[in-house]
Amino acid sequence: MDTSILDYELPPDLIAQRPLEPRDSSRVLVYRSETGELEHRVFADLPELLGGELVVLNDTRVVPARLRTRRASGGAVEVLLLESLGPDGVWEALARPSRRLRPGEQLGPVELLEPLGKGRWLVRLEGEPAGEMPLPPYIGGQLRDPERYQTVFAADAGSAAAPTAGLHFTRDLLGKLDTVHVTLHVGLDTFRPIEAATLEQHELHGERYRVEPDAWARIAAAERVLAVGTTAVRVVETVARTGALEGRTTLFVQPGFEFRRVDALLTNFHLPRSTLLALVMAFMGIEEAREIYRAAIDERYRFYSFGDAMLVL
């Protein structure tokens, strides 16, 4: 399938630069699959929009993974920690610019160990990550409160990006829902654009996940499951296929995918040419997703990480 199905034009002023306060004041575009009906609501309305679904949340926590370092020559290098590979301080990371870097170089607290290609490196970090929040490049500047790039239920540190659909929840709102937690540590796969000509040619790097046995028992037994975000979808559908409650998932959800356990989806509006948009199209249909995105643009919804949400029931 041609990757161009994931293209669309977005006015730049619809890219949300800062989160709204309170969290649940963001808008949510509701699409009812059986009737094709659209509703424009606010996120605080979520409990009355649902019909008893079990709400699956990704409780990963973002690490302060963006390190601004300098080479011995004085040149600036940004290191983005992607994934911890063990207790000895070894990480997989992105380093930019990467072309002139060499194994053995020391960049502040980071030692370069081995190039992995396309700007990726094995590195050794001294101590714990103590950089900036790794905000996406389309967001200018840093947040005054770094916790605003964490969900209120974040617990298990390990992500290089937030599971942004979860940013809309407040503690009060969670108290009105039936929820369960899974964990997927967001890494390169979630934000790397699709550069291949076809979806079939795109390969996923893999991301770590874990589901507690009692959590999976609840998910398996639920009458209906609402996945909050694409990462929660990938965890649930991975376990539904493999039975493995922990490991790495390379599951690429694209049009034609058969969903075995996810019945409803809550997610933000995603970038063109992204695996996230491919997943949305797989869940609701290619033309349906295109129509929803056109409606969101016409109604001036806010897009991407700090933007508004869509709910597919």
Same domain assignment for residues 181 and 236? yes
Residue 36: which region, alpha, beta or left (left: phi > 0; alpha: psi -120 to 50)? left
Confidence of residue 162 (pLDDT cuts 50, 70, 90): very high
Instruction: For residue 80, give the CATH number of its domain.
Output: 2.40.10.240
Tell me: pLDDT of 186 over 80: yes
Three-state SS sequence of 294-305: HHHHHCCCCECC
Give the residue-averaged pLDDT of 169-176.
98
Same domain assignment for residues 79 and 179? no
The percent of residues in the chain predicted with pLDDT above 70, rounded, is 100
Give the residue-averaged pLDDT of 234-258.
97
Give the residue-averaged pLDDT of 111-122.
95
Within-domain flag for 130: no
Q: What's the pLDDT at 67? A: 97
Boundary-marking domain end, from 82, 102, 125: 125
> pTM here?
0.95
Interatomic CA distance for residues 86 and 84, integer angstroms: 6
Total number of domains constituting the chain: 2
Same domain assignment for residues 121 and 96? yes
Same domain assignment for residues 217 and 90? no
Domain containing 97 equals 67-125
Q: What's the pLDDT at 190? A: 74
